[in-house]
Chain A
Amino acid sequence: MKLLLIEDEVELAKSIQDYLNSNDFVCEWAENFSSAVDKISIYNYDCILLDLMLPDGDGFDLLTELKNLDKTDGVIIISAKETLETRIEGFNLGADDYLVKPFHLSELLVRIQALIRRKQFNGNNKIIFNEIEIDTLSKVVKVNNQEIEFTKKEIDLLLFLVGNKNRVLSKGAIAEHLSGDMADMLDNHDFVYAHIKNLKGKLKSAQSKNYIKTIYGLGYKWQNE
């Protein structure tokens, strides 16, 4: 999978690149508008991460440029702007997702995965991890081919964990993922523990192995034994 990161903040770009590169992705980086245009006209990307405010251009123009080139690369806007207008404009110009800075890298990763699933597998939305099979479209989870009842939140959490497999996820990152827009308001992330406990319990009773590792009681990690 090839990604293009268009971001002018060097340090942020490095962190994003680091996080994504070691996750089956090849993440290229363009630090300004002109080099981004060069890159998109030559290569095809599975997903483009686009910062709207670039030193030599507007991210929106890049979306127009993509359209002009008849490119169908998936685009996730990563921006500090969070007004409804910019969101709507982004989607109108062909962006697929919009992530407001600051975000957790784990969140960015699952967003990219979801986007690529939507773009490439055309209806085949199954994620398989050993004995666990998750259909992201119909929201059905099977363990050892046995359908298990999961709540929407639990499936969401499962996808987040599996998507970030072998990564340590802090409670805050999970809380923010689960509570969406409300995340900004929460001052307490304890509810994450309850969800993890329920998920673990359901997986265990379905004869699944325990893949969820607790890290010092402060975070979690999905790990193949």
Chain B
Amino acid sequence: MNKKLLYKTQRTYLYFLILLFAIVAPLFYLIANTLYLHEIDETLLLTKSEFLNNSISKLELNDIPVWNRFNNNIEIQNSIGLKTDTLFNKLYFNFLENENEPYRVLNSPIRIEGKPYTLSIKSSLLESKDLIFTIAILFVVILVLLFFGILLINKFLSTRLWKPFYQTLQKIENFEIDKHSKPDFINSDIEEFDRLNKSIEKLIERNLIIYNNQREFVENAAHELQTPIAMFKAKIDTLIQRPDVTQKQWEILNSVNDTISRLNRLNRNLLLLSKIDKHYFSETETFSMKELIEKQLDFFIEQAKQKSIQIKTDFENDFNVNSKNGLTEIMFNNLLLNSISHNVQYGIINIRLAKKVLIISNTGKAEELPPEKLFNRFSKSNESVQGNGLGLAIVKKIADLNNWSITYSFSENKHSFSVQFK
């Protein structure tokens, strides 16, 4: 799945933060703890020096029990054979709290009146635990604040920095080569985006030139073909007047004539397509769909008669369309002619107007048409029908031009095309 750009950067930040937490938090605890222990050890050693300097010279052996009775944290114990100072952690039972509490203890060999004793100084570590805990919490709070701060700034910056990019993106998305409106890119003060805009502009310009050349070529080619076709047609018209034309020759001439008609039709349709491309049909007007259809209907009923096709109409929900009348007519005509030429003997055609929708459905080959190729130029579903493969392409083009949507569906053995008007 595709993710937004912002999501990607935010995710990287998140990973970084988790990593930071995992490594830094224990490290922080370890360092803080060590430093604190170091501090306590120094305090203990200082207490010992003070004892040695101030108290020990005044102490007599008889004073030891009294000293011990009043000094809870500095005790003078019988010698345990120590040679140097030793520091260690030890749990002591606290009667007030009724639980074991951790202490840091310094045992140091001393001599009172020449006799060896052990001086035991202890300091509670409970305070340190609280302190480290508090510091840790502070640390976490700062980290979280930092994280959200970065995220917010990042988001804010991204949206602002990337704004020109998204604008450009939207313009490209809305660009259609056959609609003749070149996207107008807003200049950006960010060099990269400016470059992007300029290169897209160039690209579009080049494509437009190629597209226009191609369209003009089709138009010119179709146009230039008109005269030779006219000559061809005229020659055949002259030829069939000859009294010595035999039936065989006449049949050949007739099929040549039909081919010329097809060629002419194809040519006209190509011209029409390029004219739609060129936005040649400019004036729009508002007209009733029902009236437009009824104007053409007689002609189609006549055509349908050849195959005994019945045309049923439902114009109850007539609606007005604001568009180019001529083009809408061509669209309707193409759809209806299709429904006749791809129909079967004794078939049925339904023309229905619903809420801004024109639906033309017809009987025909009992097989769904491939919807993806249907509207392409020169895609033919049925080789036996003499269509030129441009009818639906023209329909689609006209619908696209007006932003109408056209859909094809096949159900209950009926092919239907519906045009959703705006």
A residues near B (Cβ < 8 Å) are 9, 11-12, 15-16, 18-19, 80, 82-84, 101-106, 167-168, 170-173, 176, 179, 182, 184-191, 194, 215-216, 218-219
Contact = CB atoms under 8 A, between A and B. Distances in A.
B230 A102 contact: yes
Contact of B233 (A80, A103, A187): A103
A24 to B, nearest CB: 15
Contacts of B303: 186, 188, 191
Nearest to A171: B254
A103 B237 CA distance: 10
B226 A80 contact: yes
Contacts of B391: 185
A105 B230 contact: no
B227 A9 contact: yes
Given A170-B240, A190-B306, A216-B251, A15 B235 contact: yes
Contacts of B247: 216
Contact of A185 (B230, B265, B385): B265
Interface in B103-127: none
Interface residues of B, number: 46
Contacts of B337: 185-187
Interface string B233-276: 11111101100000100110110011011101100110100010
A170 B233 CA distance: 11
B308 to A, nearest CB: 12
Given A106-B237, A185-B333, A188-B306, 14 more contacts: A12-B234, A15-B234, A15-B238, A19-B234, A82-B271, A101-B229, A105-B238, A173-B237, A186-B337, A188-B386, A194-B305, A216-B250, A216-B251, A219-B250
B302 interface: yes
B383 to A, nearest CB: 13
A33 to B, nearest CB: 17
Contacts of B227: 9, 12, 80, 101-102
B240 A16 contact: no
B364 interface: no
Given A15-B234, A218-B250, A187 B306 contact: no
22 contacts: A9-B231, A11-B231, A12-B227, A15-B237, A84-B326, A101-B227, A101-B229, A102-B226, A102-B232, A102-B260, A102-B264, A106-B237, A168-B241, A170-B254, A179-B299, A184-B265, A184-B268, A185-B333, A187-B337, A187-B341, A215-B250, A218-B251
B233 to A, nearest CB: 5
Q: Top 6 closest A-B pairs, CB basis?
A: A102-B230, A80-B226, A15-B234, A101-B230, A105-B237, A187-B386
Interface in B297-346: 299, 302-303, 305-306, 326, 333-334, 337, 341
B341 A219 contact: no
Contacts of A191: 302-303, 305-306
B304 to A, nearest CB: 9
A106 B238 CA distance: 10
Contact of A80 (B230, B241, B387): B230
A194 B234 CA distance: 26
A168 B240 contact: yes
Contact of A187 (B257, B262, B299): B262
B306 A194 contact: yes
A115 B373 CA distance: 47
Contacts of A216: 247, 250-251
B7 interface: no
Contacts of B386: 187-188
B280 interface: yes
Most A CB within 10 A of own CB, among B257, B269, B326, B385: B257
A97 to B, nearest CB: 16
A173 B9 CA distance: 72
A103 B260 CA distance: 11
A164 to B, nearest CB: 10
Contacts of B280: 83
B223 interface: yes
Given A9-B227, A80-B230, A194-B305, A187 B237 contact: no
A67 to B, nearest CB: 27
Interface string B125-150: 00000000000000000000000000
Nearest to B229: A102
A191 B227 CA distance: 28
Nearest to A10: B231
Most A CB within 10 A of own CB, among B237, B257, B268, B386: B237
